[in-house]
């Protein structure tokens, strides 16, 4: 009986504890604040009232050619009297965007939200809908700029993302799953994340604020309601949010946006070197005490590296004090720096450590207009691969532009693709591309490589 009463006494005492010690005389009561900044309780609502009108929904429609081995055969089409134009299907997608210039109607979003789209529709929080004009895209950073002809817009102020710290509170605003505008909160989990796969330049803010499909292109803001990042992707085994989301820092998006508005594309600087990762075996052959850094295998004449005195056999160990572990890190560092940036390179030459300065300059690559090769390639611009791409083992010819509505666009050729073959013949240069296309007067099939793998594109 005494044991039973004791349990009741303990339970009551614990219950009183949950009631802020109100059962015990003489104990000071803990209480929630009565007001914070004029609000009865701490709330993000006042800040969000300013932020949410600047976050928009973006829906796109993309016409994609339907591949069919029989329909693609011109003899089969002629025999059955089928039309020569390829069949198409319309793909629709949803995403988000952020108004960053109210006067000019500029909206920041992701390249993967609007890139290649035939129709872009932007819906504001107040329900107004506008047809969006694509100003430019940058697949390498996954940034795009859309313009809408709207008045009375509200834009987000852009913060200096370099001032972010791990642990800072952030809020993600977007339109996940097309449900309507949604807000989630969390903290900055990490800064400068890279190496997440893909070929783009990466310098992500990692956050545990929930980011789900449809949030792409939405805003990541600080507690002052300032834009610190553009939500872009999640890392998830299931495809849903698990608390590992990534945003592109506002400083990087502002830099890219400026170039897209001014030129419609991004021109990046380059050192002009081709490099190779240092394996333990290569380290032994070069007489290196460690395998840290990348070895220079080629220096382009007249490049920034050549002007700085770099030569094949040099080992690049660091750029602006940041150690280099592989060629991907060097490529990422080059791509994220503005054109004209001066960098300090730490190099090892014959065992001697040196520091040299180099100014990033545009890489001069030979280009070719597809119309000069064949009328079926009109509207396509080709170029040689960059030194950075070759350092990664890429081979072929880069597609640097595809005119909308052209035959190539209808057949599915995209900017950023790499043509690695023509009718199953290998292509490694513009000269080879010209020669192989000239040999195909009737049927022309491009073998194309991209992030989605290798595919065949009939151009007939």
Q: Is 314 left (phi over 0), alpha (psi -120 to 50) or beta?
A: beta
Give the E-state strand segments of 289-373 in sequence order: 294-299, 315-319, 322-323, 342-349, 352-359, 361-362, 367-369
What is the C-alpha separation between 173 and 56, in angstroms, rounded?
Answer: 10
Q: What is the DSSP letter of 174?
A: E
Residue 277 designated active-site: no
Q: CA dist 58 to 98, 110, 215, Å?
A: 10, 10, 10
Closest Cα partner for 206 from 234, 174, 225, 184? 234
Out of 112, 118, 236, 450, the active site residue is 112
Catalytic residue selected from 216, 270, 303, 348: 216
User: Considering all CA atoms of the chain, what is the largest pairwise distance in Å, rounded to the nearest integer?
Assistant: 102
In angstroms, the CA 6 to CA 19 distance is 20
If you search the block for the tokens 């949950």, which residue do you land on?
Answer: 18
**Torsion angle (degrees, nearest 10) of CA 394, 400, 403, 406:** -30
Cα–chain center distance at 79: 46
Backbone angles phi, psi at 153, to 5 degrees: -90, 160
Cβ atoms of 58 and 113 closer than 8 Å? yes
Cα 375-416-304 angle, rounded to 5 deg? 110
Provide the β-strand partners of residue 133.
Answer: 147
> Which entry of 142, 175, 314, 417 is annotated as an active-site residue?
142
DSSP H/E element including 147: strand 143-147
Are 399 and 414 contacting, i.e. CB atoms less than 8 angstroms apart? yes
Look up residue 321 and give its two tokens. Answer: 């004090």
Query: Distance between CA atoms of 331 and 262, rounded to whole angstroms?
Result: 24
Distance of alpha carbon 364 from alpha carbon 273, whole angstroms: 12
Pairing type for strands 273-277 and 294-299 reads antiparallel
Cβ-contact 297, 326 below 8 angstroms: no
Q: How far is CA 438 from CA 373, 441, 443, in A?
A: 7, 7, 11
Helix (H) or strand (E) holding 246: strand 245-249
> Among this protein's residues, is 325 annotated catalytic?
no
Paired tokens of 109: 């979003």
Let me know if 216 is a catalytic residue. yes
Rounded CA separation 400/430 (Å): 13
Q: Which residues are catalytic?
A: 112, 142, 216
């Amino acid at each position: 009986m005494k044991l039973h009463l004791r349990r009741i006494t303990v339970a009551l005492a614990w219950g009183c504890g949950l009631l802020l010690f109100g059962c015990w005389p003489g104990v000071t009561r803990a209480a929630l604040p009565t007001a914070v900044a004029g609000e009865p309780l701490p709330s993000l609502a006042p800040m969000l009232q300013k932020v949410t009108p600047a976050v928009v929904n973006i829906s796109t429609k993309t016409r994609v050619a339907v591949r069919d081995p029989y329909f693609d055969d011109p003899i089969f089409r002629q025999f059955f009297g089928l039309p020569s134009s390829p069949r198409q299907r319309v793909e629709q997608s949803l995403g988000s965007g952020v108004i960053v210039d109210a006067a000019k109607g500029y909206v920041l979003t992701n390249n993967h939200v609007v890139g290649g789209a035939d129709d872009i529709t932007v819906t504001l929080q107040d329900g107004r809908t506008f047809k969006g004009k694509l100003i430019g895209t940058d697949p390498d950073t996954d940034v795009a700029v859309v313009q809408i002809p709207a008045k009375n817009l509200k834009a987000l102020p852009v913060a200096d993302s370099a001032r972010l710290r791990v642990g800072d509170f952030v809020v993600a605003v977007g339109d996940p799953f097309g449900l309507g505008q949604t807000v989630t909160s969390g903290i900055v989990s990490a800064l400068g994340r890279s190496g997440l796969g893909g070929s783009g330049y990466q310098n992500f803010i990692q956050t545990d604020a929930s980011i789900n499909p449809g949030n792409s292109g939405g805003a990541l803001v600080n507690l002052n309601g300032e834009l610190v990042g553009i939500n872009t992707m999640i890392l998830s085994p299931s495809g849903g949010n698990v608390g590992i989301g990534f945003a592109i820092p506002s400083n990087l998006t502002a830099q890219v946006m400026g170039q897209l508005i001014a030129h419609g594309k991004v021109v990046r600087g380059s050192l002009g070197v081709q490099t190779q990762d240092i394996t333990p075996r290569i380290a032994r052959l070069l007489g290196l005490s460690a395998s840290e850094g990348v070895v220079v295998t080629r220096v382009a004449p007249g490049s920034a590296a050549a002007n700085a005195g770099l030569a094949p056999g040099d080992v690049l160990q660091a750029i602006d004090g940041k150690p280099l572990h592989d060629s991907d890190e060097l490529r990422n560092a080059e791509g994220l720096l503005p054109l004209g940036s001066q960098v300090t390179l730490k190099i090892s030459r014959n065992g001697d450590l040196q520091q040299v300065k180099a100014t990033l300059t545009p890489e001069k690559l030979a280009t070719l207009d597809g119309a000069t090769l064949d009328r079926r390639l009109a509207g396509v611009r080709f170029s040689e691969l960059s030194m950075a791409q070759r350092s990664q083992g890429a081979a072929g010819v880069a597609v640097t532009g595809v005119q909308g509505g052209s035959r190539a666009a209808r057949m599915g050729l995209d900017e950023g693709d790499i043509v690695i073959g023509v009718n199953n013949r290998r292509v490694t240069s513009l000269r080879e591309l010209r020669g192989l296309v000239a040999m195909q007067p009737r049927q022309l099939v491009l073998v194309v490589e991209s992030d989605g793998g290798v595919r065949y594109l009939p151009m007939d």
